[in-house]
Structure 1
Amino acid sequence: MCLSGTLEEKMRAAAAAGFDGVEVFEPDLVVSPSSPEQLRELAAELGLSLDMYQPFRDGVEVAPEAFPDSLRRLRAKCELMNRLGTSVLLVCSNVATGVLEDDAAIAEQLRAAGDVADEYGIDLAYEALAWGAHVNTWRHAHRIVELADHPRVGTCLDSFHIFSRGDTVEGVEACDPRKIFFVQLADAPLLTQDVLSWSRHHRVFPGEGDFDLVDLLGRLHETGYAGPVSLEIFNDSFRQADVHRTAVDGLRSLRWLEDQTADAVREAGGDPDRPPLVLTDLPAPQAPRAWDFLELRTRELGHVTRMLHQLGFALAGHHRSKDQVQVWAQGPVRIIVSEDSRDSAQPTRLAALGVQVTDPDVAAYRAQRLLAQTVDRAQLPDETVLHGVVAPDGTEIFFGPTGDRGVPPWLVEFGADPREGAPESLFTGVDHVNLAQPWQHYDEAVLFLTSLLDLHPAPSQDVAGPSGLVRSQVMRSAGGVVRIPLNVAPMAAEQGAFTGAAYPEHIALACSDIVAVAQRARRRGLAFLPVPTNYYEDLVARFDLDPDFVALLESNGLLYDRDDAGEFLHFYTPTLGEVFVEVVERRNGYEGYGAPNAPVRLASQYREFARKG
């Protein structure tokens, strides 16, 4: 149910991604033209086990007079499962009104169901639904399983049904692993809505939400549980996204979770290699130590280089072996500009991000283990090796060495001497890089940046724009060395794409004196993104600012925000293709991103886009 497509397409995608097995969701089987025997053969051909059939609803906790019909239905399901070749049936707790509320009687029904299942060699995994009428916690379900005391009856632990109720997994480590028949995992963002709607629409893969799945897996490891660990994700976006991408994202999430669990078990003094469950961990993530470079790819080279000059950048050199590739520098900021001759229809865009890490080879190996697509980059034998991967939105991310004094060794390929370092300037670094995300790949992007770059999400915000709400989620490294806000814009009418240049990506550059940067840029002919007079009048009301200071802001086209720590001044350039530049100055420890000013930018960019037609 995590995947789009037919049952056969889902099985092929799961096998191609590298999964060991799948659960079979009854609605998929019912609409499939393949017989159970054919599906069993397909699974064998693909190397997949069929680990569970689900769901069996309203089978227990029913009135005594209705229970014989439950057993009749159970026999039919067991016969089908024998044909299909799967041996575990998920039995859900009852959500109907008027259900049986006597635990001993429910256990008796489970025991009778176990007798029927035993005739077919089937195990029954009893699961507490979070919205169950009587049984809605894992402890309650497990207690009834123990009362049933039948070898064919065990518990299914489902992380969503546990954590969505605000419950904990304390006590799982004391469970008999032989009575845990199945484990289903789902993460989710913390939302304030009814649990059923939350469950049906907003589950995500591990690492993409807010649940502590590491705690659950660590306790399961302590029990010695060695059965299946499965993903059960109801998510509207996943069911519409490319089936192969979603399958890869799902396996990436499990590998990341296994790695996190191994680290947690080791830190707690446990043994991640204790049989029968061995936790395979990955090499430690190589957290970014600094930004290395940003790459703009364009078919309008003159427009891009003119804007960089206006901002104070200088041409540092042309690449010695790559045609039409040059680097522009100012202080520690390096922007590579490559002329795009392969596809003249592509607008100017932010094509690649480079970060400096301690060991690029280890970073690349970890990315490979996490199923990241590598960038096929041509290079000569004497050129610096830059390992690259493709992010979910198509942006290329490269891992580079730190170099001497933070100056990358690849600069020599542009005719520069790395020993000279970068000249002093008003720019002090890359403050953040804002990436626009297709709605169907947002959750994938969060996990990708978390697992590969060790970035961590801050609370998300919604920003109002002329075309609807824009969701913004900041991903940042420890200490804020690298900050990447992810923006999910409203869907356009065609193919869920963004509404053109109304939602571009941008590079935010930090500076020491934004007034000086702005005045220099204006002298060189740069026209900033327009800011209405109404905005500056509102500033006075919001912050009680000195009128002379507000006049200074307005005369230089600057926007302003402040928090409890400090102040934030910034301006935006016009959009070139799909990208623009923001220049920022943080004063006295301001930590935000000027979110109150985002509607001003969005409205101005919307008008700019409308004028261009």
Structure 2
Amino acid sequence: MRRSIATVCLSGDLAEKLRAAAAAGFDGVELFEPDLVAGEMSPEEVKALADRLGVTLDLYQPFRDAEGVTEPEFADVLRRAEAKFRLMQRLGITTMLVCSNVATASVDDDEVSAGQLRRLGDLAQGYRVRLAYEALAWGRFVDDYRRSWRIVELADHPAVGICLDSFHILSRGHDPAAIEDVPGDKIFFVQLADAPLLSLDYLSWSRHHRVFPGEGGFDLPGFTAHLLRAGYTGPLSLEVFNDVFRQTDVHRTAVHALRSLIWVEDQARRALPAGAQTPDTGPGEALDASSLLPATAATGIDFVEIRCEDPSSVEMVLDRLGLTFRGVHRSKPVGLWTSGAARIIVNQQQAHGAEPHLSAVGITVPDLTAATVRAHRLKAPPVHRRTLSAEVALEAVLAPDGTEIFFGDATTAAWVAEFAGGSDLGGTEGPEDADAPTGGITGVDHVNLSGAWEDFDEAVLFYTSVLGLTAGSATHVPGPRGLVRSQVMTSEDGAVRVPLNVSPTLDTGPALQHVALACPDLRAVVRRARERGLVMLPVPQNYYDDLDARFDLDPELLAELRDLHVLYDRDAEGEYLNAYCPTVGQVFVELVQRSPGYAGYGAGNAPVRLAAQSRR
């Protein structure tokens, strides 16, 4: 089975799109007609470029308003089609997408539509062209793939088959199981697109809100599994109309697209019963269980790294919070601070002029080899850092937001010994230690990352496919300069939590990121930090008046929360307390105390935090 992409998914002119698709590793492309019409290359030049790049031209699309018309109108259909067939011969393309009629259809009769497709097939056959008939979600009469298949069956022509598009099927809520009733050799082409679940007219939804597989709400692995069971062996092609992708870097989008296709193929294979018979694969990376090693469940956060030229402001916060300085790396200007399982690296390498910002996260996995091989097969860009021969070499890849993601396991734990005093990390150095009965910081609760709006969908796919995290529902939090979009990525057991945020486009300040440190007794940590001179982010008195009205807290507890500038939330499963340290550069530290059953992040408190940070 081959991997293809429609040129409409990518920015740039046709030559740029072909080069990007080839460089990313696609086997072929489907040619969107406006890309040819608006370009300067002749059809022969387009074919020659594709041949040099090693990509096939798999589909010419779209051909519209072909069936369900009167005889005088159909005569014009044949005239238009013959011109396109001659053009396709020049391009070397043998399959054309024929969309169900949305504009000129006036005859709601399957026999009429089938007869017209049969006659169109006779004409196409003379040019060695096949017709892939597709039911558009907004078709005038034909908007269901099961009806389009019935019409193709009635046409009973070797040059007439169907095209199945996941958006047109799943957006209308049609059951894709009937795909398995279609003979695989009559499915001439397949187009894949995901989409968020919206209440919107189908045309607007399709033209502006499609996303790559794994980034929306459709079950594309299940959809693809039906195709495999049907015996389909043609290309799997991405057709994603999206305003963002047509504005972003063409090469990056092409890699992003291929990652999504590899992921959905792998998920589809794994959705099949063990031993299920599926078609043989063709050129390109094999579509079988060995194409991707299983996603190894992330088991924890090994470390968080903050990079900056001047670490003094960061180190002041960490020191006053009670973390212990473990020393400087033996060969790099990098310091390590710890408390319990919380490890914060402060990195001055390649940081000239840089304000403090969150630059890397270490993730522990049960199988380091599987995790790194999977990441590379999913086209995650590798990160290279200088490592001496006696030092632990940590594998890392670059996330779409620029964060470096390092993989670690029991074999890499020795990296901590590379810091002066780093061999003693067992929590035995005094009363401020995380294991002390008076409480303290015990680990990392979550890491909150912020990125550009155009990278958000790609980031969701990255953390889903590469790290095996699950995406929660997207939420929007009101801030002083607009809504902040947030989506939480979590491991199955909650050991790794990564909320992803997108700040409003009108927010001209730095995109803030933060690390949330877990505390079994948050109020004790805040009191000790205040004694050392740390001033927590001030919370307005109005918040506590509202808190009292919402939760009817014990007056003594409410007074203590107000005094310490600690925020509070509660649901049916438990409680959540949090407090915020001052922002330094583009990063801040949050302190968190959560009941075991509480799975949220105090979302109702986020507007208060955003407003307070904006004021300061």
Q: 217-226 or 433-442, which moves further after superposition?
A: 217-226
Q: Is the 8 A contact 1:126 1:154 kept in 2?
A: yes
Residue of structure 2 equivalent to 1:491: 505
Residue of structure 1 equivalent to 2:566: 558
Residue of structure 2 equivalent to 1:535: 543
Task: Supply the RMSD in Å over aligned alpha carbons.
Answer: 1.6
Q: 171-180 or 132-141, which moves further after superposition?
A: 171-180
Instruction: Pick closer, same or farther for the CA change 1:401–1:436 going to 2, 3 Å.
Output: same
1:281 paired with 2:286, answer no
Number of equivalences? 596
1:84 paired with 2:130, answer no
Which of residues 336, 345, 351 is equivalent to 1:336?
345
1:478 paired with 2:485, answer no
Give deviations 1:421-462, integer Å, cap 9, x for gaps: 234411121111110021111111111111111100011110
Deviation at 1:275, TM superposition (A): 6.6
1:131 paired with 2:138, answer yes
Deviation at 1:271, TM superposition (A): 3.6
Amino acid at match of 1:288: A
Secondary structure of 1:294's aligned partner? strand
Amino acid at match of 2:588: F
Q: Is the 8 A contact 2:11 2:245 kept in 1?
A: yes
Which of residues 213, 216, 231 is equivalent to 1:224?
231
Q: Is the 8 A contact 1:553 1:559 kept in 2?
A: yes
Residue of structure 2 equivalent to 1:594: 602
Secondary structure of 2:246's aligned partner? helix
Which of residues 259, 265, 270 is equivalent to 2:276?
270
Amino acid at match of 1:408: A
Q: Could you tell me how far apart the structure 2 residues matched to 1:278 and 1:387 are?
A: 26
Q: Could you tell me how far apart the structure 1 residues matched to 2:114 and 2:338 are?
A: 72
Secondary structure of 2:153's aligned partner? helix
| Structure-1-length-normalised TM-score | 0.95
Q: Could you tell me how far apart the structure 2 residues matched to 1:575 and 1:99 are?
A: 64
Instruction: Pick closer, same or farther for the CA change 1:273–1:266 going to 2, 3 Å.
Output: farther
Residue of structure 2 equivalent to 1:414: 419
1:121 paired with 2:128, answer yes
Give deviations 1:352-378, integer Å, cap 9, x for gaps: 000111222221111111111111111
Q: Could you tell me how far apart the structure 2 residues matched to 1:178 and 1:97 are?
A: 30
Q: Could you tell me how far apart the structure 1 residues matched to 2:278 and 2:603 are?
A: 43
1:568 paired with 2:576, answer yes
Q: Is the 8 A contact 1:262 1:281 kept in 2?
A: no
Secondary structure of 2:177's aligned partner? coil
Q: Is the 8 A contact 2:65 2:104 kept in 1?
A: no
Give deviations 1:68-94, integer Å, cap 9, x for gaps: 001100011111111111111100001
Give deviations 1:22-68, integer Å, cap 9, x for gaps: 01101111110111111111101111100001000111122222110
Q: Structure 1: which 5+ runs fail to align?
A: 493-497, 609-613
Q: Structure 2: which 5+ runs fail to align?
A: 1-7, 435-439
Amino acid at match of 1:338: N
Q: Percent identity, aligned pairs only?
A: 55
Q: Is the 8 A contact 2:67 2:105 kept in 1?
A: no
1:164 paired with 2:171, answer yes
Residue of structure 2 equivalent to 1:396: 404
Q: Could you tell me how far apart the structure 2 residues matched to 1:122 and 1:181 are?
A: 11
Q: Is the 8 A contact 1:265 1:272 kept in 2?
A: no
Amino acid at match of 2:455: H
Amino acid at match of 1:535: Y
Deviation at 1:149, TM superposition (A): 0.4
Q: Is the 8 A contact 2:265 2:287 kept in 1?
A: no
Residue of structure 2 equivalent to 1:347: 355
Q: Is the 8 A contact 1:214 1:261 kept in 2?
A: yes
1:176 paired with 2:183, answer yes
Q: Could you tell me how far apart the structure 1 residues matched to 2:203 and 2:94 are?
A: 28
In the TM superposition, 1:279-358 aligns within 5 A as 279=288, 280-322=290-332, 324-340=333-349, 342-358=350-366
Deviation at 1:546, TM superposition (A): 2.4
Q: Could you tell me how far apart the structure 2 residues matched to 1:509 and 1:584 are?
A: 6
Q: Could you tell me how far apart the structure 2 residues matched to 1:413 and 1:278 are?
A: 42
Q: Could you tell me how far apart the structure 1 residues matched to 2:390 and 2:338 are?
A: 23
Q: Could you tell me how far apart the structure 2 residues matched to 1:212 and 1:242 are?
A: 28
Residue of structure 1 equivalent to 2:468: 454
Residue of structure 2 equivalent to 1:611: none
Instruction: Pick closer, same or farther for the CA change 1:275–1:444 going to 2, 3 Å.
Output: closer
1:55 paired with 2:69, answer no
Q: Is the 8 A contact 1:353 1:398 kept in 2?
A: yes
Amino acid at match of 1:558: V
